[in-house]
Amino acid sequence: MRIGLTGGIGSGKSTVALLLKEHGATVIDADAIARELVEPGEPALVALVAEFGPRILTAGGTLSRGELAKLAFSDPEATKRLNAIMHPLIRAESARRIQSAPSSAVVVYDMPLLVETNQRDLVDVVVVVDIPESLQVERSVTMRGLDRDDVERRMQAQVSRDERLAVADYVIDNSGSPDELKAAVAGLWADLHTR
């Protein structure tokens, strides 16, 4: 079974992925793949520098994610240019890893932009981790140390909460306690095994 796991920034999607991994799932993390693709010497980094300029590099020649985020999420056209470079590469590598997983595995494709990038075809079911938008901002700022304006810009670049929920086969409400989240994931895991 292939599960597409998605949710907006700050929703707790990574925590849900970790809980599913504890249940025995094989997790393929699109964000981790994206980080691998922009290592020094990788074609994606070369393309990003060509598009956004050398200021996105640190003195050591690695990607400055903060600088890239400032430039790429500054306007919708810049975001489109970033996505045009990264999304095809992430999709291709993700598809390769999903296909190479053992046929008996429950594969969780942890993809924040699953809906935005039309990758529903890579998975059997879509699980959306959902919280109110105000809570997304607060958790991103307080727990991840992100800049509030940056979080709000990123949210505007993502599909709306309603659009994400519209494609969900399952919804995990993460607005409660950690214990409530663990129980919800355990219930999801049990339900997936009855499909």
pLDDT digits (tens, 9 = 90+) for 15-52: 999 999 999 999 999 999 999 999 999 999 999 999 99
Model pLDDT for residues 169-182, shown as the tens digit of each residue? 999 999 999 999 99
pLDDT at 109: 96
Complete edge-to-edge strand list for the sheet that includes strand 2-7: 26-29, 107-110, 2-7, 125-130, 170-173
Q: Provide the CATH topology of domain 2-192.
A: Rossmann fold (3.40.50)
| Contacting residues for 173 by C-beta, under 8 A, at least 6 apart | 130, 131, 184
**How much is the average pLDDT of 148-176?**
88
The domain segmentation of the chain, as residue ranges, is 2-192
- What distance in Å separates the CA atoms of residue 110 and residue 95, rounded to the nearest whole number? 12
User: How many residues belong to the chain?
Assistant: 195
Percentages helix, strand, coil for the chain, rounded to the nearest 5? 55, 15, 30
**Amino acid, single-letter form, for residue 11:** S
